[in-house]
Structures are given as structure tokens and as C-alpha cells.
Chains A and B, each alone.
Chain A
Amino acid sequence: MLDVDERVVVRTTPDGSPLGFEWRDRQYRTTEAPLRFYTRRPWWVEQDRIQKGVGPQVLETETWRITAAGRGRSTERVFELVRDNADWVLARILG
């Protein structure tokens, strides 16, 4: 596993599922159905006050695990992309 933690530009379907992304000047496209999951954030440490209705983004992190291959390459790798509203971060490469 390789921790990356870099901002990337992600192309998605209209309902928000990633189709591919650009990282270090290389295009990657997903080769399998991506898997969405959430992990919790320690909101009682991070926040002094939480406004009513702020909800999910304070409470959990949205992560997409995708299998993708770089343009012109056939080897697939598994990436984890973290979404924060419109911003995406390539968090890590699993292998």
C-alpha cells in the first residue's frame, strides 16, 4: 500500500460515480464497477460546534475504491479516492 494524499481531477457519471481521473499528468480510467464506502470522522475532536443540518461531511468521509489502468498501460491498480464535496484526493494506492 502506498499513501499518496494528492489532489486529483476526477471524471464522474451524472450520479457521481468515478469514471477515471488524472494524476501526475497521466489519465487513468476505471476498469471495474467502483465501490463506495464511508469511514467515520472523530467529530467530537474536530468540531467545537456542529450546526443542525450540516450532517454527513462532518460525520464521515466518502471513499471510492476503484480499479483503474493508466492510459496506454494494461496493468490495473486499485486506488482509493476520497471525495470532499467537489474536491477529490487520491488517498492511497492499494496495489
Chain B
Amino acid sequence: MAKRAQIIPPRADLKKKAVNLSKGFDMRLTPEVVRKLEEVVHKSRDTFTADIAEKLVTMRRLLTESRPEPERQRDLVAQIYDASLEIKGAGGTIGYDLLSQIGKSLNDFVTGLTALDARQQRAVGLHVDALYAVLANRITGRGGIIENAIVEAFGEARRKLRPEADEDGRAGDDDREA
């Protein structure tokens, strides 16, 4: 017979330790604190862009040196998956929303793959080129009409070259709550 669920009351020790009426930060961020925190994020921008640039160099090298052996292909896809996921997560955090969008598009493209055929490899290469262009031209925010058209074109390429990926319903992710 199924065990009846036991409800354990919220634990108050952390709240007791940190929440008070005199010292610390307001429960809702004040504009002053937001400014200070955003300054921290802004300062990290150079470190992030250098890291992303390094990842793009690595992806470009991996694509150039790619071999048809299954093990090498698996490794290639895994490394592209890792790099694109990090770019997706980092870009928008430091104000490069377009990097995140293209990073997500690349990540969606390789998710579930274990090898890349010639056409898929070209599509990955185009993603890397676009990421380079965004970084080199310091295109912050979501970009303009041309940039959005590029992101849409990548979506179209994914639907053509990876129809099964879109069936998984991987589109759309925002500030989700558990």
C-alpha cells in the first residue's frame, strides 16, 4: 500500500539567521542595488566575450579537423553541444541577446545528434560564422531586421535538416519556475 505523504513544516533556521529588521538588503531590490549588481555583470563582459571567442575558435577547428569515424563524430557533436549551451546561457546575461538566440539555435540543432552529415556540418559552420559576426561587431541586444532574419533562417534550416528536433517541442524558454 502506498505510504501516506508526510508534510514537513517549512524550516525556519535560515530565515531566523538572515532575516531581520535592521541590517541587510530590502526584500525587493532598490534601483541603487540593481545598479551595483548590473555593474558587476558589466565588468564580467570582457571575460565572457574572451571565453566565447575561444569556444568559437575551438568549434571552427573541430569542424575543419572533423573525421567520419563514429567516435570522432560523437566527440565533435558533444563539444559543439557544450559550447553552444554555454553561449546560449552567457550571451544574454551580459547583454548579447543575439548570441544567446544563435547559441540556442545551434544547441537545438545538435541536440540528439551523434554525427553530422555534410549539410548539417555546413549549417553548424554557418552558426559559428554568425556568432563570430555578432561578437566582432559587438551587436548587443537582439539586433535589427537583418539579424532577426538570420535567426529565422537558422530555424528554417533546422526544420529542414533536423525535422525530428522540432517535433520534440524544444522551442521557447524564458524565466521558468519550478
Whether A associates with B in a native complex is no
Residues of B within 8 A of A (CB): none
Taking beta carbons and an 8 Å cutoff, which residues of A are in contact with B?
none
